[in-house]
């Protein structure tokens, strides 16, 4: 008998996933010159595509060239050349599965040394205690900047479809911009963008409306949402339940549940919890509750490494099992499960007492594994996290120099070549988003 993990999933757009195992988004930080995808990203996604996952969801693709989560971020805006993204889509689909582009804006979660802009719902910066200086101090967004950002999401989604991607995932989790608007701890707007949840959700809902209007009906649209913020007084499971209900009439195909942010990095693991299930499926208890009332299929991501855990997630009613770190170590894990095999190696969580530093080291170690896979090598999950953290910082310095030079040059060119009239497609998106 075939496991339900390997049964297809028919989405409301008509899009069909070949199985219920998704390669969840991980930030690759592998942009080539011009913040474009290059051979490393193609090689990495070919390895994942050959490994048997249903949909592959890319790491962050940024909608605003002046607002990146890091200097190695990929940008797809209205002026980016499309060919590199066409090749990326082809690589992601090479194994017969779907490839979705995760689209994002960092908001206030921009490193302090980055050029460009640091925007947020309010002027409240990221609070990491003695590490708070790692992030820039945000400027509160005006309604005009909010509307322009909604348009950017729609433009990126439209161009992703043009490039051959099968769908997009709007990132509204992990403390990035749309998640910031959802959070009562960060969103201090007193106008139509803040206050009650219906207003704090307005930007996300406008983004989804604009994206859905910008792509064809058969193009998949997913949303990544925190099941909880894991901060006292923050976005919680009841808020998540209500937002899922708000997304239902907007043509969303799937909602991925995760949790946490840089301030409370639950998405990188809960190693202090003695329960095996909590260590391997961080947000399953919350997902079990949300799935009871969700009008949309749910995907759960966070710490899943074994088939038995994935089966428990499916048995809870969750439609899709998402894996990130596990596939950074074992890119063919879905095919292994199909053949009743498990991973040979796993990567233990970083358990340093400094949670912010441990989270950064954990993400650096995952990035290091992806770099090895992109080069055609095997992962080294036992590598010391301090080494990968220092190595990643060194690589980011070089990427920052290249990004600074490229952004300065592109801003100069844009000032010279800026059209006298707004792009009609963008203008149309603005009109639909504000309705």
Residue 158 has pLDDT above 80, yes or no: yes
User: What pLDDT band is residue 80 in, cutting at 50, 70 and 90?
Assistant: very high
What lies within 8 Å, CB to CB, of 338 at 6+ separation is 6, 52
Of 4-8, 339-343, 425-429, least confident by mean pLDDT is: 425-429
Q: What is the DSSP letter of 128?
A: -
Give domain limits for the chain: 16-433
pLDDT digits (tens, 9 = 90+) for 134-154: 899 999 999 999 999 999 999
How far is residue 100's CA from residue 154's CA, in Å, rounded to a whole number? 15
Kind of pairing between the strands at 254-258 and 298-301: parallel
Rg of the chain over all Cα atoms, to the nearest angstrom: 20
How far is residue 53's CA from residue 55's CA, in Å, rounded to a whole number? 6
Average pLDDT over the chain reads: 88
Report percent pLDDT > 70 for the chain.
Answer: 87
Residue 277: the pLDDT is 40
Contact 30, 371 (CB under 8 A): yes
Report percent pLDDT > 90 for the chain.
Answer: 75
Q: Whose structure tokens read 């050959």? A: 50
pLDDT digits (tens, 9 = 90+) for 288-323: 889 999 999 999 988 899 999 999 999 999 999 999
Residue 278: the pLDDT is 43
Q: Which fold has domain 16-433?
A: TIM Barrel (3.20.20)
Residue 274: the pLDDT is 39
pLDDT digits (tens, 9 = 90+) for 258-274: 876 565 544 444 433 43
What lies within 8 Å, CB to CB, of 108 at 6+ separation is 118, 119, 120, 124, 125, 126, 135, 136, 138, 177, 180, 186
How far is residue 297's CA from residue 289's CA, in Å, rounded to a whole number? 13
How far is residue 128's CA from residue 109's CA, in Å, rounded to a whole number? 11
Exposed / middle / buried, residue 402 (Cβ in 10 Å: 0-12, 13-18, 19+) = middle
């Amino acid at each position: 008998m075939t496991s339900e993990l390997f049964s297809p999933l028919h989405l409301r757009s008509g899009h069909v996933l070949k199985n219920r195992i998704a390669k969840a988004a991980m930030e690759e930080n592998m942009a080539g010159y011009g913040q474009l995808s290059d051979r490393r990203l193609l090689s990495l996604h070919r390895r994942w595509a050959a490994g048997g996952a249903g949909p592959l969801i890319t790491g962050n693709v940024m909608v605003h060239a002046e607002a990146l989560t890091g200097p190695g971020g990929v940008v797809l805006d209205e002026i980016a050349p499309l060919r590199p993204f066409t090749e990326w889509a082809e690589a992601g689909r090479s194994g017969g599965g779907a490839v979705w582009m995760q689209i994002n804006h960092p908001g206030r979660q921009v490193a302090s040394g980055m050029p460009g802009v640091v925007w947020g719902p309010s002027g409240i910066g990221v609070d990491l205690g003695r590490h708070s200086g790692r992030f820039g101090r945000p400027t509160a967004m005006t309604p005009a900047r909010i509307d322009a950002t909604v348009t950017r999401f729609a433009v990126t989604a439209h161009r992703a479809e043009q490039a051959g991607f099968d769908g997009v995932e709007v990132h509204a989790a992990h403390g990035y911009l749309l998640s910031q608007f959802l959070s009562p701890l960060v969103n201090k707007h007193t106008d139509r963008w803040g206050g009650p949840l219906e207003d704090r959700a307005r930007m996300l809902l406008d983004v989804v409306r604009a994206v859905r209007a910008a792509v064809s009906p058969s193009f998949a649209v997913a949303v990544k949402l925190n099941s909880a913020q894991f901060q006292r007084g923050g976005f919680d499971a009841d808020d998540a339940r209500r937002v899922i209900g708000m997304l239902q009439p907007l043509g969303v195909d799937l909602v991925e549940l995760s949790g946490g942010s840089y301030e409370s990095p639950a998405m990188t693991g809960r190693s202090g919890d003695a329960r095996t299930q909590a260590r391997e499926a961080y947000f399953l208890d919350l997902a079990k509750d949300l799935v009871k009332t969700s009008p949309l299929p749910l995907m759960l991501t966070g710490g899943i490494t074994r088939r038995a855990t994935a089966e428990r997630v499916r048995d809870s009613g969750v439609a899709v099992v998402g894996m990130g770190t596990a596939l950074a170590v074992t890119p063919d894990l879905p095919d292994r499960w199909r053949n009743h095999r498990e991973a040979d190696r796993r990567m233990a969580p970083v358990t340093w007492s400094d949670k912010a530093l441990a989270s950064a080291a954990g993400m650096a170690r995952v990035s290091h594994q992806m770099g090895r896979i992109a080069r055609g090598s095997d992962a080294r999950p036992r590598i010391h996290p301090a080494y990968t953290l220092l190595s990643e910082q060194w690589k980011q310095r070089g990427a920052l120099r290249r990004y600074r030079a490229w952004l300065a040059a592109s801003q100069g060119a844009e000032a010279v070549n800026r059209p006298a009239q707004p792009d009609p497609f963008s203008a149309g998106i603005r009109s639909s988003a504000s309705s």
